[in-house]
């Protein structure tokens, strides 16, 4: 296991094509999900849900993605449709993170930021355990049918407004086949100011 500061300083996204089995095992996934839910959460609302996509479930959601892609792209070729069908099985495991804000409580923006923090914590926990991870949205995160299908698989937040449920992202996880080169990071003087 990597110490915390080293893990934070060395985390890099792993391309989905550079992941293979095994995925995190049951105990490791429980650790990742535990870390994922230790995020800032004004009002202790838990305004997010996580859906585990693997095996048959990932293929079923892929069927919906392929149908939606075909409907929205009448000229789609069979290889493109097949890629959409396999979308959620590109890596050994995929976690869908949904933002499920509770209206009339804390600001929705804060609740959405909390869902983003869930995604970030998944990335850090996976890296600390030695796995590759990638947070993606792509078109499926903005498709109403995909959101509705995932919403059916979650226990709703107390008074969560289904109309405001959104997909914060899909986090793909697996064993890295290669170490990703670090990308150029911003210079602190370009992104940090003092008042």
Write out the two tokens for 194: 């003092």
Q: Which CATH number belongs to the domain containing residue 151 in this structure?
A: 3.40.109.10
- Between the alpha carbon of residue 68 and those of residues 28, 62, 87, the distances in Å are 33, 10, 13
Indicate whether 165 belongs to any domain.
Answer: yes
Comparing 9 with 36, the larger pLDDT belongs to 36
The H or E element containing residue 93 is strand 93-99
Tens of pLDDT, residue by residue over 68-78, are 999 999 999 99
* Section 153-157 average pLDDT: 72
Write out the two tokens for 78: 């069979």
Residue listed under structure tokens 């838990």: 46
Confidence of residue 62 (pLDDT cuts 50, 70, 90): very high
Indicate whether 149 belongs to any domain.
Answer: yes
Indicate whether 62 belongs to any domain.
Answer: no
> How much is the pLDDT for 33?
98
The radius of gyration of the chain from alpha carbons, rounded to an integer in Å, stands at: 18
Question: Residue 144 and residue 138: Cα distance in Å, rounded?
Answer: 13
> How much is the pLDDT for 1?
53
Average pLDDT of the residues of the chain: 93
- Between the alpha carbon of residue 65 and those of residues 81, 96, 127, 193, the distances in Å are 9, 14, 28, 43
> How much is the pLDDT for 2?
58
What's the predicted TM-score (pTM) here? 0.92
**Ramachandran angles phi, psi of 88, nearest 5°:** -90, 5
Indicate if the pLDDT at residue 114 is higher than 70: yes
Indicate if the pLDDT at residue 157 is higher than 70: no
Write out the two tokens for 110: 């804060």
Confidence of residue 159 (pLDDT cuts 50, 70, 90): low
- Number of domains the chain is built from: 1
Range of the domain at 141: 4-53+90-177
Residue listed under structure tokens 């990597």: 2
> How much is the pLDDT for 161?
65
* Section 171-179 average pLDDT: 95
> How much is the pLDDT for 158?
55
> How much is the pLDDT for 156?
65
CB 169 within 8 A of CB 136: yes
Indicate whether 128 belongs to any domain.
Answer: yes
Classify the C-alpha dihedral 101-105-108-113 as positive or negative: negative
> How much is the pLDDT for 55?
94
Indicate whether 139 belongs to any domain.
Answer: yes
Indicate if the pLDDT at residue 91 is higher than 70: yes
Tens of pLDDT, residue by residue over 116-144, are 999 999 999 999 999 999 999 999 999 99
Q: Is 155 exposed, middle or buried (0-12, 13-18, 19+ CB in 10 A)?
A: exposed
Indicate whether 14 belongs to any domain.
Answer: yes
Indicate whether 37 belongs to any domain.
Answer: yes
Indicate whether 85 belongs to any domain.
Answer: no
Confidence of residue 48 (pLDDT cuts 50, 70, 90): very high
């Amino acid at each position: 296991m990597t110490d915390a500061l080293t893990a934070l300083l060395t985390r890099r996204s792993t391309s989905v094509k550079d992941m293979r089995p095994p995925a995190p095992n049951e105990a490791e996934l429980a650790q990742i999900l535990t870390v994922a839910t230790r995020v800032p959460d004004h009002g202790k609302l838990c305004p997010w849900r996580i859906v585990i996509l693997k095996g048959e479930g990932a293929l079923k959601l892929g069927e919906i993605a392929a149908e939606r892609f075909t409907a929205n792209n009448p000229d789609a070729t069979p290889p493109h449709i097949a890629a959409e069908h396999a979308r959620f099985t590109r890596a050994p495991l995929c976690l869908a993170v949904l933002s499920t804000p509770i209206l009339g409580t804390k600001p929705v923006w804060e609740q959405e930021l909390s869902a983003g923090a869930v995604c970030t914590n998944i990335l850090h926990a996976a890296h600390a355990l030695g796995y590759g991870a990638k947070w993606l949205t792509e078109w499926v995160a903005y498709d109403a049918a995909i959101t509705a299908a995932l919403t059916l698989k979650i226990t709703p937040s107390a008074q969560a407004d289904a109309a405001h449920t959104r997909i914060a992202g899909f986090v793909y996880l697996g064993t890295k086949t290669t170490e990703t080169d670090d990308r150029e990071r911003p210079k602190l003087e370009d992104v940090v100011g003092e008042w």
